[in-house]
Structure 1
Amino acid sequence: MRLHTTTVVSLSALAVLFLAGCSTGSTSAADSTSSPSASVRQEGNNASAPAPLSSAALSKRLLDESDLGEGYTRKPEQPKRHDDVAVTGCPALDRLGGDAAAGGSLDFPRKAKASFTYAGGSDSAVAEELYSDTEDKLSKGVGRIFDAMVSCSMYQVLVGGTPIEVTAAKAAVTRIGDERWGQVLTFAVGGRSTVMKQAAVRTGKVLVVVSGSSALVDAHVEKAVAKARVTH
């Protein structure tokens, strides 16, 4: 199955780009785990904005260095790459390929992203992505992707000719927002492996996705959601 880069970036987010030697500064779509995997929906707690937010409004709700604390440096945005991406060994992702190739899934038009490195050690990085759409579209879009990903414990991603072995498992996310998805991904390439975590939280018409080293994701996901839901 061959997918457009943005689709698989949203699936594997930060880690695939790191292992393939790419930059993570562009504004591409994002994701996490889903309902059968690790999604939780809180009924009766959907106080949301009257309309989806614009990309400009979302960008103002991204975390910055002052939110994260000492030792974080924001990475500059880089031009989008257009490498083809192939996924093998996961029938659920294969069945999702039609919508993905057509630009569906998490390719929401209203989005903003920021990526940071952390001086605390190697492989210490975190990225935040914000998306806005109707509650239903956000929920279904994230859910389908995450369900597909965690349905396969192992599969391979080929990014621009570089094969990356992926191991996926669902993960718990702090009980915040209206819906939550979480997964831990292990990427292996060239004799090196990296473990990354993704946490996605829907709060009203905004989806917050935090990706990076597990400790940094756990440390910052709550403040990311809190800032994303602030009204101006």
Structure 2
Amino acid sequence: MRLRHSAILTSTCLALWALTGCSAPPSDSEPAAERAETPASTAGDHEVLPPEQLADRLLTADDLGPGYTARPAATTTSPEASVEGCPQLEQLGSAADNPYAMFPNQGKRVFTGPGGTQLTEELYSAPPKDLSAGVGRIMTAMGACPSYHLVTPTTVAQVRTQTVPVPRSGDEQWGQVLTVTAGGRRTIVQQTVIRDGAVLLVVSGSPAEVAVHWHSALTKATNR
């Protein structure tokens, strides 16, 4: 199944970027990605935010500290990729090139940190029920297979998935670690996904980077 790089592959592409120079997506025997729920937000948290407000709530290099630089998310069309060995992920790709495209209100920023580490933050906004259903479907597909292959015009990568616990913040949380092997090299990327009312936060990068920065990203994203 052929599909364009999309938000569904953000974590994988981050790892491939580190290994082989894979471009980031435009706007980047294990169980399915973990999902947890906490009590619903107040009604005031359900306001759908326009893209300009989401952009204002993204972290900046100054928020992250010394040694970080921000670069704009890719705006050109990325090459196609082929997912092999995971029917659920293939079916999700056949339904839409970019599952997150159902949420037109979005913002994204990519950071390079000390030592060349990579961190990506994405924000989406939509009515809470729409966000919950959409991201639940995406994360279920991403975590459905313990391993699969991602084939680009220049690279064949093996991707292994593992569910990880996520702190109980917001209304719903998902966590996943991807181990990506390509060209004899391996890298590990963690993705933490949190829905808080009408805002969806996706933070991707090395486990250490995500652990350090997800909370400040959530705090700024929810304007608290």
**TM-score higher than 0.5 here?**
yes
Alignment match, 1:60: 56
1:95 matched to 2:91? yes
Identity %: 38
Distance 1:50 1:7 in 2: 23
Residue of structure 2 equivalent to 1:81: 77
Q: Aligned with 1:95: secondary structure?
A: helix
Q: CA deviation at 1:106?
A: 1.5
Name the SS for the 1:127 alignment partner. Answer: strand
For 1:195 and 1:216, the matched residues in 2 are separated by 11
Whether the 8 Å CA contact 1:126–1:211 is kept in 2: the answer is: yes
Q: Does 1:181 align with 2:174?
A: yes
Superposed displacement of residue 50, structure 1: 5.0
Considering fraction of residues, name the structure with more helix: 2
Code of the residue aligned with 1:95 in structure 2: it is Q
Query: Cα 1:198–1:225, aligned 2, differ >3 Å: closer, same or farther?
Result: same
Find out whether 1:125 has 2:118 as its counterpart.
yes
Q: Is 1:106 equivalent to 2:103 in the alignment?
A: no
- Larger deviation: 65-74 or 1-10? 1-10
- The 1-side partners of 2:169 and 2:209 are apart by 17
- Residue 68 of structure 1 aligns with an amino acid whose one-letter code is L
Matches of 2:42 and 2:163, distance apart in 1 = 24
Structure 1 residue corresponding to 2:162, chosen from 150, 169, 175: 169
Query: What is the CA-CA distance between 1:92 and the residue it aligns to?
Result: 1.6
Alignment match, 1:31:
none
Map of 1:38 onto structure 2: 34
C-alpha contact (below 8 Å) 2:193/2:203 kept by paired residues: yes
Deviation at 1:17, TM superposition (A): 3.7
Distance 1:143 1:224 in 2: 21
Cα deviations by residue, 1:56-91 (Å, 9 ceiling, x for unpaired): 110000001221112211124443233111101112
Q: Is the CA contact (8 Å cut-off) linking 2:26 and 2:76 kept in structure 1?
A: yes
Q: 1: CA distance between counterparts of 2:104 and 2:125?
A: 8
* Aligned match of 2:110: 115
Rounded Cα–Cα distance in structure 1 between residues aligned with 2:124 and 2:159 = 25
1:145-160, aligned counterparts within 5 Å? Answer: 145-160=138-153
String of CA shifts for 1:101-151, please: whole Å, max 9, x gaps. Answer: 4x5x222211111111111x35x2211000111111211111112111212
Quick check: 168-177 or 48-57, which moved more?
48-57
1:47/1:227 Cα in 2 relative to 1: closer, same or farther (>3 Å)?
farther
CA contact (8 A) 1:135 1:205 kept: yes
Q: Is the 8 A contact 2:37 2:168 kept in 1?
A: no
- How much does 1:93 deviate? 1.3
- My pick for the range that moved more, 47-56 or 171-180, is 47-56
CA pair 43-113 structure 1, distance change in 2 beyond 3 A:
same
Q: Is the 8 A contact 1:40 1:180 kept in 2?
A: yes
Q: What is the aligned length?
A: 221
What TM-score results when the alignment is normalised by the length of structure 2?
0.89
Cα drift, residue 43 of structure 1 = 2.9
Q: CA RMSD in A?
A: 2.2
TM-score (normalised: structure 1): 0.86
Matched, 1:206 2:199: yes
